Structure formats: C-alpha cells, structure tokens
C-alpha cells in the first residue's frame, strides 16, 4: 500500500472512531433518560425545532447520497457485503459506516493498483 493510501486509510478510520464516540455518547445519554419516548421519541427529537429538522434532513439526504455511492462503487470495484455497510448505517450511524466503507474502498483500490503494476 502506498504511503498516501495508508494515510487516507488512517484518516477514514479516525473519522469512524470519532463519529462512533460522538454519536453514541449522545444516543446512550438520550436512552438513559426517563420518559424519552424510546425510538419514536428519538426520531421526534430530530424534528423538535427548525434547526434540528434541518440537521436531520441534511443527514438523511447525505446518507441517501452516500448509500448510492456505496452501492455503485461496491459493484464497480467488487467490494462484497456492501449491504452490511448500508444496514449498519441505520443501526450504528452513517457517519461511522460511510468512512469504514471508504476505508474498504481505498484498500481495494490500492490492491487493484498493486496488481496492475505487477
């Protein structure tokens, strides 16, 4: 793997770890609260005011675009199990799974480049 490829992979992994911490510390805090409304309350909170609704809609549209890119790139590059990234984007967070997909994509690209050079 090239030096720049390794740096890019490290950056993607760092973003995924930071995103996991940033999202799940808040998720766990929310679900620890009494009378939070559960999952419905969580989703309702994303539309509690115009600012929250704007951020929720922005994240939803970004997730949709990221999903399209994941499926297209997975097919083009032969990345297996892309559906796992898609499903876990909803279960864990798209901000975690998309960088992990980009990490897998970069590894695949580097491997393909190495094969082409041989």
- pLDDT tens column, 22-80: 999 999 999 999 888 998 999 999 999 999 999 999 999 999 999 999 999 999 999 99
Q: Identify the domain containing residue 46 by its residue range.
A: 3-117
What percent of the chain stands above pLDDT 70? 99
Q: How confident is the model at residue 117 (pLDDT cuts 50, 70, 90)?
A: confident
105, 79 in Cβ contact below 8 A? yes
What are the φ/ψ torsions at residue 92 (nearest 5 degrees)?
A: -100, -70
Diameter over CA atoms, the chain: 61
pLDDT value, residue 118: 65
> Average pLDDT, stretch 105-117?
89
Q: How confident is the model at residue 1 (pLDDT cuts 50, 70, 90)?
A: confident
Structural domain count, the chain:
1
């Amino acid at each position: 793997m090239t030096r720049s490829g390794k740096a890019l992979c490290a950056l993607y992994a760092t973003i995924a770890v930071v995103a996991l911490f940033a999202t799940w510390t808040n998720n766990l805090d929310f679900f620890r609260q009494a009378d939070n409304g559960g999952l419905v309350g969580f989703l309702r909170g994303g539309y509690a005011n115009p600012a929250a609704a704007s951020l929720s809609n922005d994240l939803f549209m970004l997730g949709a675009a990221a999903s399209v890119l994941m499926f297209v790139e997975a097919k083009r590059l032969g990345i297996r199990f892309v559906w796992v990234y898609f499903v876990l984007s909803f279960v864990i967070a798209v901000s975690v799974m998309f960088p992990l997909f980009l990490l897998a994509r970069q590894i695949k690209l580097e491997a393909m480049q190495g094969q082409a050079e041989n």
